[in-house]
Amino acid sequence: MRFNLVTRTEETYAVIQTEGYLNGPSGEKLADTAKELIAEGYTKLVIDLEQTRLINSIGISIIIEIIELIHQQEGVVHFCNLTPVIQRTFKIMGLAQHAGIFPNEGAAISNL
Amino acid sequence: MSDQANREVVLIIPMFPNIELAAAQTAYSLAEMMDFDENDIDEIQLAIIETCINAFEHSKSEDRRVSIKFIMRDNELELKITDSGVGFRPNQATSASSGEVGLKKRGWGLEIIRNMMDEVSIESSDKGTTITMIKRKISPIRSEVCSNARRTPVGTPLR
Protein backbone atom coordinates (compact mmCIF):
# COMPACT_ATOMS: atom_id res chain seq x y z
CA MET A 1 0.00 0.00 0.00
CA ARG A 2 1.46 3.32 -1.08
CA PHE A 3 1.95 5.98 1.57
CA ASN A 4 3.97 9.12 0.93
CA LEU A 5 5.10 11.99 3.07
CA VAL A 6 6.23 15.38 1.80
CA THR A 7 7.96 17.67 4.29
CA ARG A 8 8.52 21.39 3.92
CA THR A 9 10.42 23.46 6.45
CA GLU A 10 10.16 27.20 6.88
CA GLU A 11 12.01 29.44 9.31
CA THR A 12 9.85 28.76 12.35
CA TYR A 13 7.65 25.82 11.43
CA ALA A 14 7.38 22.68 9.31
CA VAL A 15 4.56 21.24 7.22
CA ILE A 16 4.10 17.49 6.69
CA GLN A 17 1.76 16.45 3.89
CA THR A 18 0.50 12.86 3.94
CA GLU A 19 -0.74 10.86 0.97
CA GLY A 20 -2.53 7.52 1.33
CA TYR A 21 -4.00 5.25 4.01
CA LEU A 22 -2.95 6.26 7.50
CA ASN A 23 -2.70 3.06 9.54
CA GLY A 24 -0.16 1.68 12.01
CA PRO A 25 2.90 1.37 9.73
CA SER A 26 2.26 4.64 7.88
CA GLY A 27 1.51 6.34 11.21
CA GLU A 28 4.95 5.19 12.41
CA LYS A 29 6.52 6.79 9.31
CA LEU A 30 4.70 10.02 10.13
CA ALA A 31 5.88 9.83 13.75
CA ASP A 32 9.49 9.22 12.67
CA THR A 33 9.35 12.28 10.41
CA ALA A 34 7.86 14.39 13.21
CA LYS A 35 10.60 13.20 15.60
CA GLU A 36 13.30 14.13 13.08
CA LEU A 37 11.80 17.60 12.70
CA ILE A 38 11.59 18.03 16.47
CA ALA A 39 15.25 16.97 16.75
CA GLU A 40 16.08 19.69 14.21
CA GLY A 41 14.32 22.22 16.44
CA TYR A 42 10.93 22.43 14.74
CA THR A 43 8.34 22.40 17.51
CA LYS A 44 5.59 24.02 15.44
CA LEU A 45 4.13 21.53 13.00
CA VAL A 46 1.27 21.49 10.53
CA ILE A 47 0.09 18.07 9.37
CA ASP A 48 -1.86 18.35 6.13
CA LEU A 49 -4.15 15.34 5.50
CA GLU A 50 -5.60 16.55 2.18
CA GLN A 51 -4.39 13.46 0.31
CA THR A 52 -5.44 11.02 3.05
CA ARG A 53 -9.01 9.83 2.75
CA LEU A 54 -8.80 6.60 4.80
CA ILE A 55 -7.46 6.30 8.29
CA ASN A 56 -7.86 3.85 11.16
CA SER A 57 -7.78 4.11 14.93
CA ILE A 58 -4.27 2.64 15.10
CA GLY A 59 -3.00 5.41 12.83
CA ILE A 60 -4.79 7.99 14.97
CA SER A 61 -3.31 6.49 18.16
CA ILE A 62 0.13 7.22 16.69
CA ILE A 63 -0.96 10.77 15.88
CA ILE A 64 -1.84 11.10 19.58
CA GLU A 65 1.76 10.13 20.39
CA ILE A 66 2.99 12.88 18.05
CA ILE A 67 0.74 15.41 19.81
CA GLU A 68 2.09 14.29 23.20
CA LEU A 69 5.67 14.54 21.95
CA ILE A 70 5.12 18.05 20.63
CA HIS A 71 3.47 19.10 23.89
CA GLN A 72 6.46 17.78 25.85
CA GLN A 73 8.58 20.19 23.79
CA GLU A 74 6.08 22.98 24.56
CA GLY A 75 5.33 23.11 20.86
CA VAL A 76 2.15 23.15 18.84
CA VAL A 77 0.70 20.91 16.13
CA HIS A 78 -2.20 21.76 13.86
CA PHE A 79 -4.03 19.56 11.37
CA CYS A 80 -5.71 20.71 8.19
CA ASN A 81 -7.71 19.55 5.18
CA LEU A 82 -9.42 16.70 7.04
CA THR A 83 -12.41 14.96 5.49
CA PRO A 84 -15.56 15.42 7.60
CA VAL A 85 -15.32 11.77 8.74
CA ILE A 86 -11.67 12.06 9.81
CA GLN A 87 -12.51 15.32 11.58
CA ARG A 88 -15.36 13.61 13.44
CA THR A 89 -13.11 10.69 14.37
CA PHE A 90 -10.49 13.11 15.75
CA LYS A 91 -13.25 14.68 17.84
CA ILE A 92 -14.51 11.29 19.09
CA MET A 93 -10.96 10.32 20.13
CA GLY A 94 -10.35 13.64 21.86
CA LEU A 95 -7.63 14.99 19.57
CA ALA A 96 -9.60 18.14 18.87
CA GLN A 97 -9.04 19.22 22.48
CA HIS A 98 -5.27 19.01 22.16
CA ALA A 99 -4.50 20.12 18.61
CA GLY A 100 -5.88 22.70 16.25
CA ILE A 101 -7.98 21.54 13.31
CA PHE A 102 -8.25 23.94 10.39
CA PRO A 103 -9.91 23.82 6.99
CA ASN A 104 -6.72 24.59 5.05
CA GLU A 105 -2.97 24.93 5.37
CA GLY A 106 -2.98 28.73 5.36
CA ALA A 107 -5.35 28.88 8.32
CA ALA A 108 -3.33 26.28 10.21
CA ILE A 109 -0.06 28.15 9.63
CA SER A 110 -1.47 31.53 10.62
CA ASN A 111 -2.68 30.05 13.92
CA LEU A 112 0.67 28.50 14.91
CA MET B 1 -33.03 -17.68 -6.02
CA SER B 2 -34.85 -14.74 -4.44
CA ASP B 3 -34.34 -11.10 -5.43
CA GLN B 4 -32.84 -10.47 -2.01
CA ALA B 5 -30.23 -13.17 -2.50
CA ASN B 6 -29.31 -11.51 -5.77
CA ARG B 7 -28.51 -8.33 -3.90
CA GLU B 8 -25.96 -9.90 -1.57
CA VAL B 9 -22.20 -9.86 -1.97
CA VAL B 10 -19.96 -12.04 0.17
CA LEU B 11 -16.27 -11.34 0.59
CA ILE B 12 -13.92 -13.57 2.55
CA ILE B 13 -10.58 -12.04 3.44
CA PRO B 14 -7.53 -13.54 5.12
CA MET B 15 -6.12 -11.70 8.10
CA PHE B 16 -3.06 -9.92 6.85
CA PRO B 17 -1.95 -6.30 6.90
CA ASN B 18 -3.90 -3.81 4.79
CA ILE B 19 -6.37 -6.42 3.46
CA GLU B 20 -9.10 -4.47 5.27
CA LEU B 21 -8.75 -2.05 2.35
CA ALA B 22 -10.20 -4.73 0.05
CA ALA B 23 -13.32 -4.76 2.22
CA ALA B 24 -13.39 -0.96 2.29
CA GLN B 25 -13.01 -0.82 -1.49
CA THR B 26 -15.88 -3.29 -1.97
CA ALA B 27 -18.03 -1.24 0.39
CA TYR B 28 -17.14 1.88 -1.60
CA SER B 29 -18.18 0.29 -4.89
CA LEU B 30 -21.49 -1.04 -3.56
CA ALA B 31 -22.42 2.11 -1.65
CA GLU B 32 -21.60 4.27 -4.67
CA MET B 33 -23.78 1.99 -6.82
CA MET B 34 -26.58 2.55 -4.28
CA ASP B 35 -26.15 6.35 -4.51
CA PHE B 36 -24.96 6.91 -0.97
CA ASP B 37 -23.32 10.31 -0.63
CA GLU B 38 -19.57 10.69 -0.27
CA ASN B 39 -19.67 11.32 3.47
CA ASP B 40 -21.82 8.24 4.12
CA ILE B 41 -19.43 6.16 2.03
CA ASP B 42 -16.46 7.40 4.08
CA GLU B 43 -18.36 6.47 7.26
CA ILE B 44 -19.13 2.97 5.98
CA GLN B 45 -15.50 2.48 4.95
CA LEU B 46 -14.16 3.58 8.34
CA ALA B 47 -16.64 1.31 10.17
CA ILE B 48 -15.67 -1.70 8.07
CA ILE B 49 -11.94 -0.99 8.49
CA GLU B 50 -12.33 -0.77 12.28
CA THR B 51 -14.41 -3.95 12.43
CA CYS B 52 -11.85 -5.87 10.37
CA ILE B 53 -8.83 -4.71 12.35
CA ASN B 54 -10.65 -5.52 15.61
CA ALA B 55 -11.14 -9.07 14.31
CA PHE B 56 -7.52 -9.26 13.13
CA GLU B 57 -6.18 -8.09 16.49
CA HIS B 58 -8.50 -9.73 18.99
CA SER B 59 -10.43 -12.69 17.56
CA LYS B 60 -7.61 -15.27 17.82
CA SER B 61 -9.44 -17.22 15.12
CA GLU B 62 -7.66 -20.33 13.95
CA ASP B 63 -8.66 -20.00 10.30
CA ARG B 64 -7.44 -16.38 10.23
CA ARG B 65 -10.32 -15.33 7.99
CA VAL B 66 -13.10 -12.77 8.14
CA SER B 67 -16.33 -13.11 6.19
CA ILE B 68 -18.13 -9.96 5.12
CA LYS B 69 -21.65 -10.10 3.75
CA PHE B 70 -23.00 -6.95 2.09
CA ILE B 71 -26.79 -6.88 1.76
CA MET B 72 -28.13 -4.15 -0.50
CA ARG B 73 -31.71 -3.03 0.14
CA ASP B 74 -33.67 -0.15 -1.34
CA ASN B 75 -32.72 2.37 1.32
CA GLU B 76 -30.00 0.73 3.34
CA LEU B 77 -26.79 -1.25 3.18
CA GLU B 78 -26.34 -3.98 5.78
CA LEU B 79 -22.95 -5.47 6.56
CA LYS B 80 -22.42 -8.69 8.49
CA ILE B 81 -18.82 -9.20 9.50
CA THR B 82 -18.03 -12.60 10.99
CA ASP B 83 -14.95 -14.23 12.45
CA SER B 84 -14.66 -17.68 14.03
CA GLY B 85 -12.55 -16.54 16.94
CA VAL B 86 -12.88 -16.73 20.71
CA GLY B 87 -15.54 -14.03 20.96
CA PHE B 88 -15.94 -11.27 23.50
CA ARG B 89 -18.57 -9.72 25.72
CA PRO B 90 -19.55 -6.43 24.10
CA ASN B 91 -20.51 -4.84 27.45
CA GLN B 92 -17.07 -5.72 28.83
CA ALA B 93 -15.08 -4.59 25.81
CA THR B 94 -12.52 -1.92 26.53
CA SER B 95 -14.14 1.45 26.25
CA ALA B 96 -11.75 4.25 25.49
CA SER B 97 -13.99 7.00 26.78
CA SER B 98 -15.02 5.53 30.10
CA GLY B 99 -14.22 8.57 32.19
CA GLU B 100 -10.44 8.46 32.18
CA VAL B 101 -8.68 11.77 31.92
CA GLY B 102 -6.35 12.53 29.03
CA LEU B 103 -5.90 11.12 25.57
CA LYS B 104 -6.52 7.38 25.34
CA LYS B 105 -4.70 5.80 22.46
CA ARG B 106 -6.38 2.45 21.89
CA GLY B 107 -9.75 0.79 22.39
CA TRP B 108 -11.77 3.13 20.21
CA GLY B 109 -12.95 0.64 17.59
CA LEU B 110 -16.49 -0.07 18.79
CA GLU B 111 -17.15 3.54 19.67
CA ILE B 112 -16.08 4.69 16.21
CA ILE B 113 -18.18 1.98 14.55
CA ARG B 114 -21.26 3.00 16.56
CA ASN B 115 -20.71 6.63 15.62
CA MET B 116 -20.39 5.91 11.92
CA MET B 117 -23.34 3.56 11.38
CA ASP B 118 -27.09 3.88 12.03
CA GLU B 119 -27.44 0.48 13.71
CA VAL B 120 -24.84 -1.83 15.19
CA SER B 121 -25.46 -5.16 16.88
CA ILE B 122 -22.99 -7.73 18.13
CA GLU B 123 -23.48 -11.46 18.54
CA SER B 124 -20.54 -13.17 20.15
CA SER B 125 -19.80 -16.57 21.63
CA ASP B 126 -16.76 -18.78 22.09
CA LYS B 127 -17.32 -19.91 18.50
CA GLY B 128 -16.98 -16.49 16.95
CA THR B 129 -18.39 -13.02 16.53
CA THR B 130 -20.75 -11.40 14.06
CA ILE B 131 -21.07 -7.65 13.96
CA THR B 132 -24.08 -6.44 12.00
CA MET B 133 -24.11 -2.83 10.87
CA ILE B 134 -26.69 -0.89 8.92
CA LYS B 135 -26.28 2.39 7.06
CA ARG B 136 -29.45 4.04 5.82
CA LYS B 137 -29.75 6.44 2.97
CA ILE B 138 -31.20 9.77 4.03
CA SER B 139 -33.56 11.92 2.03
CA PRO B 140 -31.99 14.64 -0.15
CA ILE B 141 -33.38 17.43 2.07
CA ARG B 142 -32.00 15.91 5.28
CA SER B 143 -28.76 15.14 3.49
CA GLU B 144 -28.33 18.82 2.60
CA VAL B 145 -28.99 19.92 6.18
CA CYS B 146 -26.48 17.39 7.54
CA SER B 147 -23.91 18.35 4.94
CA ASN B 148 -24.16 22.03 5.88
CA ALA B 149 -24.00 21.20 9.59
CA ARG B 150 -20.77 19.27 9.12
CA ARG B 151 -18.86 22.13 7.49
CA THR B 152 -16.32 23.82 9.72
CA PRO B 153 -16.28 27.60 9.50
CA VAL B 154 -13.06 28.82 7.89
CA GLY B 155 -10.38 29.67 10.43
CA THR B 156 -12.24 28.17 13.37
CA PRO B 157 -10.44 25.47 15.32
CA LEU B 158 -12.73 22.52 16.11
CA ARG B 159 -12.73 22.21 19.90
Task: Give the tens place of pLDDT for each residue, B32-45.
Answer: 999 999 999 999 99
Residue B154 in contact with partner chain A when CB distance is under 8 A:
yes
> Quick one: CA dihedral A49, A51, A57, A60, positive or negative?
negative
ipTM over 0.90: yes
Strands A14-20 vs A44-51: parallel, antiparallel or unpaired: parallel
- When mean pLDDT is compared across A73-77, B77-81, B108-112, the lowest value belongs to B108-112
Distance from the B25 Cα atom to the nearest Cα atom in chain A, whole angstroms: 11
Give per-residue pLDDT as tens, B56-99.
Answer: 988 888 899 999 999 999 999 999 999 999 887 776 665 555 44
In angstroms, the CA B50 to CA B38 distance is 18
Contact B135, B76 (CB under 8 A): yes
HSE-CB at A19 with a 13 A cutoff on CA atoms is 5
pLDDT of res. B95: 57
Residue A3 in contact with partner chain B when CB distance is under 8 A:
no
Q: How far is CA A33 from CA A26, A47, B123, in A?
A: 11, 11, 41
For residue A73, is pLDDT > 70?
A: yes
Contact B155, A102 (CB under 8 A): yes
Which of A55, A101, A103 has its CB closest to that of B154? A103
First to last CA, chain A: 32
Q: What is the pTM (predicted TM-score) of this model?
A: 0.86
* B74-133 residues touching A, CB cutoff 8 A: 96-97, 103-106, 108-109, 111-112, 115-116
Residue A94 in contact with partner chain B when CB distance is under 8 A:
yes
Number of CB pairs, chain A paired with chain B, less than 8 A apart: 90
